[in-house]
Amino acid sequence: MQNIREFVVNADNPRSIAARARQKRWQRLLREFPDLTEMNVVDLGGRPRAWRAAPVQPKHVLCVNVEGLEGDGRIECIRGDACTIDGIGTFDLVYSNSTIEHVGGHFRCHQFADTTRRLASKYWVQTPYRYFPIEPHYVFPLVQHLPPPLRGRIGQMWSPSWVRNDPEDVLSIELLSKTALKLYFPEATIISERVVGVPKSLVAIHNA
């Protein structure tokens, strides 16, 4: 069972679907923002290890995360709420990967989008697609459409799942549709990242 998780969603495994999707994501990011190496970037919900592994390094990265993480010089970390963080200045680019689906409902998603626009005029906000057949946190088909008690039960019984039968974990994940992401970022271009032609995740891009 663990092999399923390794093959599908473990981005540290270079042969996994997630790792291959991440490489394509970096390539698209560089096409959209070719001057990334000269940018000051704030990563809402990010972790330093993703940037250490990136094929191109921005001038400076600030990771805002509710966890206490360790930075290293060019990659700085602060503890903060990605929806309400303030007093950190402005940046050339806001980057966020698989965070908005964890912030906690419609109002908080609007806060996240408002914070994104306040911190930079350019942004890249990625999130798993609600209608992709395999839910990436549970690594299980269509579990995102089930009631929370059933989701928790599957998380408890299905060993590849990253989610266990904990209400906090179960209720903290709310995948977005393309309509919802466009609602929060109406000025953005919404693109689909695909696996074998099927949309796996969405990205809201603003490049102005």
Residue 78, pLDDT > 70, answer yes
pTM (two decimals): 0.89
Domain residue ranges in the chain:
19-134+174-206
Per residue in 134-158, pLDDT tens?
999 999 999 999 999 999 999 999 9
Nearest to 150 by CA among 125, 167, 130: 167
State mean pLDDT over 72-91.
94
How many H-runs (helices) and E-runs (strands) does the chain carry?
7, 9
How high is the mean pLDDT of the chain? 90
Superfamily of domain 19-134+174-206 in CATH is Vaccinia Virus protein VP39 (3.40.50.150)
At 127 the pLDDT is: 97
Q: What's the token pair of residue 165?
A: 């039968």
Spatial separation of the C-alpha atoms in residues 170 and 149, rounded to whole Å: 8
- CA distance linking residue 108 with residue 141, whole number of Å: 27
| The amino acid at 126 | Q
